[in-house]
Amino acid sequence: MVDRRGSAGSLSVQRSTEFFSGYLDELAFKADCASPADLVEAAALVDRAGATGGKVIVVGNGGSAAIAAHVAIDLVKAAGRRAMTFNESSLLTCYGNDYGYANWVAEAISSFADVGDVAVLISSSGESDNIVNGAVRALEMGLSVLTLSGFDATNRLRTMGEANLWVDSSSYNVVEITHQTWLLAAVDYLIEQDRNRLD
């Protein structure tokens, strides 16, 4: 007699391992969407801001806001670059209330950005109005802009920066994980570059 529970359990484990194996393979493939030259260009924007006394302003919504906070603190603490984000709830709710959610990033950039700063703008879809409007304002102010997006290849944000990193995926988690991987790789690259300058 066949132990159906054991059989089903084995099938379940097999499907689970296949899922994670496929998922991790996809992440590795998506992370390869950006060439090393693309990542050097993105890191160079950040490096130039630091070299001229500017700062890095990193902005996103939801999961991308969490990525922005992680990247900003690593830039400051580990890479020695000035960086900030707009994740303070009183700032976000004040600007959102006064200017409308679609405009709060643009208005915050107007208030906090200086000549020589770089704006790193993250939107998984590339269609978040507040992030797109933030890019418009940053460009109007003469800031350097680095964009990170995913989903549709023709999303609005994808062509707005001096450097633009795009993930060919419509899965939020895959896009966000890839964005974070690229940005933190850029942070580690800057740390390594600084070490090399001291040698």
Q: Confirm if 87 and 69 have CB atoms less than 8 A apart.
A: yes
What are the tens digits of pLDDT across the range 162-188?
999 999 999 999 999 999 999 999 999
Q: Confirm if 186 and 83 have CB atoms less than 8 A apart.
A: no
CA nearest neighbour of 50 among 199, 196, 187: 187
The per-residue pLDDT for 6 is 56
Q: CA angle at residue 134 from 179 to 63, to 5 degrees?
A: 35
CA atoms within 13 A on the CB side of 120: 33
Intervals of the chain under pLDDT 70: 1-9
In order of 30, 62, 134, the CA distances from 145 in angstroms are: 22, 20, 10
Cross-strand bridge partners of residue 18: none
The per-residue pLDDT for 10 is 76
